């Protein structure tokens, strides 16, 4: 285990797998559940549109896809490209043909089960009348 700074709350924690501490992981699981449900109910939306509608940081959604905690349809994940060949991918960092060529295990859908009930999440800081581009919701790296 290594000591790391949580991406969400910026507290130090013993990093095992994810880049967030355990309390933040629980909150992220609730948000992932909301994103999955919203994308299922509104097919064809882009990740930016989902981010704006749910008031969830776009960089969090993209990180969950890379961590294989969230899988998206090809149309929604069109911005996700294989790091090796540039093909469109739905999860992870490399496409299935490249992972097979490298002898890596194939990308599987996330195995985490969503919470039983729909969670209540407090709204993030944003002006209720402002529906600007998803770029606005990216965290500033200081």
Instruction: Report the C-alpha gap between 26 and 5 in whole angstroms.
Output: 16
Query: Which residues, 6 or more positions from 61, have their beta carbon under 8 angstroms from its beta carbon?
Result: 35, 47, 50, 51, 70
Domain contains 124: no
- Determine the pLDDT at residue 89: 78
DSSP state of 135: G
User: With contact defined as beta carbons under 8 Å apart, do 24 and 6 qualify?
Assistant: yes
Domain contains 35: yes
Q: Kindly report the pTM of this predicted structure.
A: 0.57
Q: What is the pLDDT of residues 89-118, one digit of tens each?
A: 777 778 888 888 888 776 555 444 444 455
How many structural domains compose the chain? 1
The range of the structural domain enclosing residue 57 comes to 2-107
Residue keyed to tokens 């919701």: 137
CA atoms within 13 A on the CB side of 114: 14
Domain contains 75: yes
Domain contains 133: no
Mean pLDDT of the chain: 77
Domain contains 129: no
Q: What percent of the chain has pLDDT over 70?
A: 68
Domain contains 141: no
More confident residue, 68 or 1: 68
């Amino acid at each position: 285990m290594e000591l790391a700074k949580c991406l969400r709350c910026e507290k130090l924690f013993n990093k095992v797998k994810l880049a967030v501490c355990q309390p933040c992981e629980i909150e992220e699981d609730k948000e992932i559940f909301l994103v999955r449900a919203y994308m299922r109910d509104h097919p064809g939306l882009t990740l930016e549109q989902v981010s704006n509608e749910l008031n969830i940081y776009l960089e969090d959604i993209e990180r969950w896809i890379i961590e294989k905690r969230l899988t998206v349809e090809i149309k929604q994940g069109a911005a996700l490209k294989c790091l090796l060949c540039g093909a469109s991918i739905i999860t992870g960092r490399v496409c299935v043909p490249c992972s097979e060529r490298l002898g890596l295990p194939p990308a599987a859908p996330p195995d985490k089960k969503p919470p039983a009930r729909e969670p209540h999440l407090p709204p993030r800081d944003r002006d209720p009348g402002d529906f600007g581009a998803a770029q606005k919701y990216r965290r500033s790296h200081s």
